[in-house]
């Protein structure tokens, strides 16, 4: 049996939805994109949504819409994919890298220490589906961009994430909570920001007065997104159920499992175990056909040669992501827990 680290769940209805658009002849950005924007905004609870080509382009437009320019600083955590760093560099601003808390999310204390007169925004990813410390971040009084690429449907104090910052971005890459293959969205309640992003997404029949991009989504991607969105509540329920099973099975062993305060509800985009022996676990799981991964390939501060990021270093050295996604069958889950428990017993 081979259990990949992640795999999207595409069913017959998804395929029909895409085929329908392809057969219609109207395949580029059109009515389906508009419908998808409306539905995602509704799901999260935002006034406006703008669908784009990726989470990274969503971040880029979000930064530009805040008026971020050369010399401005934008705060991001070290323990995250390089998309955040790149979107800031593309906006000609300076990424300011800060450390994380033990739950892998941005440390509000580190953010506070990094603030200065050039700070124009903070990007807060809800890592692995678990909400960041939103209250403390919002109170710092700089615009917060919520990065919900991994966390659609997660809740913070009984409210869905994506409702707390000035702008929210999503990603619909193949392995995210729902997929359009590649894709993203910007969400906001601010009509000026909405208009600004809508303007910049495309160039055709538009003025030369602002910098514009071709960041559009196609209608056949939006059709897939709409079809996937109908299953999102089920996807989340299934992810939580599998996480519950893993917790039951793995708790007897000497490893650290995800722990959540009662005011946060995770969607378990990833299931992360922490152990000094993660390399051995990964290797032995691989031998059994179970693909576990480092959830972040290299922390940004290490890439840049920066020091004194104990939280991020600790996560990098100990975190291992165990496959968890709605497509996993009962049989696969049994096989996985059986083998992983056997490995944990040996080490
Ligand atoms: C995937 C991801 C992104 C980037 O999204 P793409 O669609 O791959 O460009 C940004 N932030 C986080 C937290 C992500 O997981």
Query: How many CB atoms sit inside 10 A of residue 32's CB?
Result: 26
Distances (CA, A) of 62 to 46, 71, 310: 15, 17, 30
pLDDT at residue number 325: 98
pLDDT at residue number 67: 97
pLDDT at residue number 139: 96
pLDDT at residue number 116: 98
- DSSP codes joined into one string, 70-95: TT-EEEEESSS-THHHHHHHHTT-EE
> Does any ligand 1 atom lie closer than 6 A to the CB of residue 146?
no
* Interatomic CA distance for residues 268 and 280, integer angstroms: 24
pLDDT at residue number 190: 98
> Does any ligand 1 atom lie closer than 6 A to the CB of residue 56?
yes
Give 249 Cα–ligand 1 centroid separation in angstroms.
Answer: 30
pLDDT in tens, the chain (347 residues): 999 999 999 999 999 999 999 999 999 999 999 999 999 999 999 999 999 999 999 999 999 999 999 999 999 999 999 999 999 999 999 999 999 999 999 999 999 999 999 999 999 999 999 999 999 999 999 999 999 999 999 999 999 999 999 999 999 999 999 999 999 999 999 999 999 999 999 999 999 999 999 999 999 999 999 999 999 999 999 999 999 999 999 999 999 999 999 999 999 999 999 999 999 999 999 999 999 999 999 999 999 999 999 999 999 999 999 999 999 999 999 999 999 999 999 99
pLDDT at residue number 27: 97
Give backbone dihedrals phi and psi of 306, rounded to 5 degrees, phi first. Answer: -90, 150
Nearest CA to ligand 1 atom 3: 55
pLDDT at residue number 226: 99
* Interatomic CA distance for residues 49 and 58, integer angstroms: 11
> Does any ligand 1 atom lie closer than 6 A to the CB of residue 336?
no
Q: Check: pTM over 0.85? Answer yes or no.
A: yes
> Does any ligand 1 atom lie closer than 6 A to the CB of residue 147?
yes
H-run or E-run covering 15: helix 12-24
pLDDT at residue number 343: 98
Query: How many CB atoms sit inside 10 A of residue 338's CB?
Result: 12
* Interatomic CA distance for residues 245 and 242, integer angstroms: 5
> Does any ligand 1 atom lie closer than 6 A to the CB of residue 184?
yes
* Interatomic CA distance for residues 63 and 90, integer angstroms: 10
pLDDT at residue number 266: 98
Contacts of 223 (CB under 8 A, 6+ apart): 17, 18, 20, 21, 32, 36
pLDDT at residue number 146: 98
Give 25 Cα–ligand 1 centroid separation in angstroms.
Answer: 30
* DSSP-H helix ranges across 254-320: 278-287, 300-304, 310-318
Give 322 Cα–ligand 1 centroid separation in angstroms.
Answer: 19
Query: How many CB atoms sit inside 10 A of residue 109's CB?
Result: 13
């Amino acid at each position: 049996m081979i259990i990949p680290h992640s795999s999207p769940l595409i069913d017959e209805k998804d395929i029909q939805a895409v085929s329908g658009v392809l057969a219609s002849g109207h395949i580029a950005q059109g009515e389906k994109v508009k419908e998808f924007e409306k539905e995602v905004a509704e799901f999260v609870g935002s006034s406006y949504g703008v669908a784009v080509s990726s989470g990274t382009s969503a971040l880029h437009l979000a930064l530009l819409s805040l008026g971020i320019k050369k010399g401005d600083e934008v705060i991001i955590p070290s323990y995250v994919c390089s998309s955040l760093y790149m979107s800031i560099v593309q906006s000609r601003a300076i990424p300011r890298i800060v450390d994380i808390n033990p739950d892998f999310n941005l440390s509000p204390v580190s953010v506070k220490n990094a603030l200065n007169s050039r700070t124009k925004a903070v990007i807060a990813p809800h890592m692995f589906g678990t909400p960041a410390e939103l209250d403390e971040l919002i109170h710092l009084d700089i615009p917060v961009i919520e990065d919900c690429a991994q966390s659609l449907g997660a809740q913070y104090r009984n409210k869905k994430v994506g409702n707390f910052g000035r702008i929210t971005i999503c990603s619909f890459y193949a392995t995210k909570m729902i997929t359009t293959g590649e894709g993203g969205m910007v969400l906001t309640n601010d009509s000026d920001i909405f208009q600004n992003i809508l303007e910049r997404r495309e160039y055709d029949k538009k003025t030369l007065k602002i910098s514009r991009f071709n960041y559009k989504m196609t209608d056949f991607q939006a059709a897939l997104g709409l079809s996937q969105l109908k299953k999102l509540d089920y996807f989340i329920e299934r992810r939580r159920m599998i996480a519950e099973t893993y917790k039951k099975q793995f708790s007897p062993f000497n490893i650290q499992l995800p722990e959540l305060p009662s005011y946060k509800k995770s969607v378990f985009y990833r299931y992360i175990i922490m152990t000094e022996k993660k390399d051995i676990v990964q290797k032995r799981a691989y031998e059994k056909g179970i693909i576990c991964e480092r959830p972040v390939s290299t922390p940004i501060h290490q890439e840049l040669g920066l020091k004194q990021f104990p939280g991020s270093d600790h996560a990098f050295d100990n975190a291992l992501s165990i496959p968890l996604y709605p497509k996993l069958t009962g049989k696969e889950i049994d096989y996985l827990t059986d083998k992983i428990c056997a490995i944990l017993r040996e080490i």
